[in-house]
Amino acid sequence: EIDVPESHPRYQSLLTRHRIEAGVEKGITSKQGLIAEGRGEAFDYLLGERTIASADEAARAAAALLLLAERPVLSVNGNVAALVPGEMIDLAAAVGADVEVNLFNRTDERMRAIVDHLREHGADDAGVPIKGLAADGRIPGLDHERATVDADGIGSADVVLVPLEDGDRAEALSAMGKTEIVIDLNPLSRSAQTAAVPIVDNILRAIPNITEHARELSAASDEELERIVREFDPERALAAAEDVIRSGDLD
């Protein structure tokens, strides 16, 4: 896929850049997505490019929330589609969620390209509905373009996973009463601060990790899942991530 040996110390980050670049070329990722990627990389560097303990706990709480949800929806934007298309489908299948394509800079071409991309990555075979094209719902408090959702997707979801989401939209979704799971490498970003469950980790590691937790918890009782959610403290998780960044300590 990319002409860099796996032994290269920056292999993972070079691979990530390459995927985002390919996403832009394929018309699924916006140029703004390149900037978001650069910002994420800087934080990943400071976190030691690994899943810190508090992020793993958050991934477990996210899995419990998704399993408990009546109508869970996983939101996919251009960066998410470029980085983890198959992994998002696997997670949706594991927790019985729908996927909704939802773009900050929405264009019909990009919407369609991402829907097709997710189909190429097995959405139909996995029986995972891909939403976003109906565009018949709105998030109150945002201007028209940014407010658009599917009424029977994010519009009526109880739990939403919004990776790499813009802070304004994360706040508006939470104001609508959605329980939000955010994946964001920056613990100071408003998106992370708004989430019921902020996962401060690279999406490349976080999505497969949530899926693994969901599979482990698939036989757990509702009481057990509720206990996991109750014991998770978002402020503590954000503070733990910030501590790692400031101290440079490995947990």
Q: Binding string to ligand ATP for residues 127 to 166, with x set by CB under 6 A, is what? A: -------------------------------------x-x
CB of 35 to ligand ATP, least distance (A): 6
Could you say which of 189, 193, 202, 209 contacts Mg ion (CB under 5 A)?
Answer: 189
Q: Does 90 help bind ligand ATP (rule: CB under 6 A)?
A: no
Could you say which of 17, 39, 71, 112 contacts ligand ATP (CB under 6 A)?
Answer: 39
User: Based on CB atoms, which residue is closest to ligand ATP, 84 or 214?
Assistant: 84
Q: Binding string to ligand ATP for residues 41 to 60, with x set by CB under 6 A, is what? A: --x-----------------
Q: Binding string to ligand ATP for residues 162 to 181, with x set by CB under 6 A, is what? A: --x-xx--------------
**What is the C-alpha to C-alpha distance for residues 70 and 31, in angstroms, rounded to an integer?**
35
- Measured from each CB, the residue nearest to ligand ATP is 167
Q: Does 190 help bind ligand ATP (rule: CB under 6 A)?
A: yes
Q: Does 232 help bind ligand ATP (rule: CB under 6 A)?
A: no
Q: Does 191 help bind Mg ion (rule: CB under 5 A)?
A: yes
**Residue 146 labeled ligand binder:** no
DSSP the chain: --SS-TTSTTHHHHHHHHHHHHHHHTTSS-HHHHHHHHHHHHHHHHTTSS--HHHHHHHHHHHHHHHH-SSEEEEE-HHHHHH-HHHHHHHHHHHT-EEEE--SS--HHHHHHHHHHHHHTTTTTTT--EE-SS--EE-TTS-HHHHEE-TTTGGG-SEEEEET--HHHHHHHHHTT-EEEEE-S-TTSHHHHH-SEEE-S-HHHHHHHHHHHHHHTTT--HHHHHHHHHH--HHHHHHHHHHHHHH----
User: Based on CB atoms, which residue is closest to Mg ion, 150 or 171?
Assistant: 171
**Residue 17 labeled ligand binder:** yes
Contact 73, 155 (CB under 8 A): no
**Residue 230 labeled ligand binder:** no
CB of 26 to ligand ATP, least distance (A): 17
**What is the C-alpha to C-alpha distance for residues 2 and 17, in angstroms, rounded to an integer?**
10
Q: Does 74 help bind ligand ATP (rule: CB under 6 A)?
A: no
Residues near ligand ATP, by CB under 6 A? 36-37, 39-40, 43, 83, 164, 166-167, 183-186, 189-191, 202-203
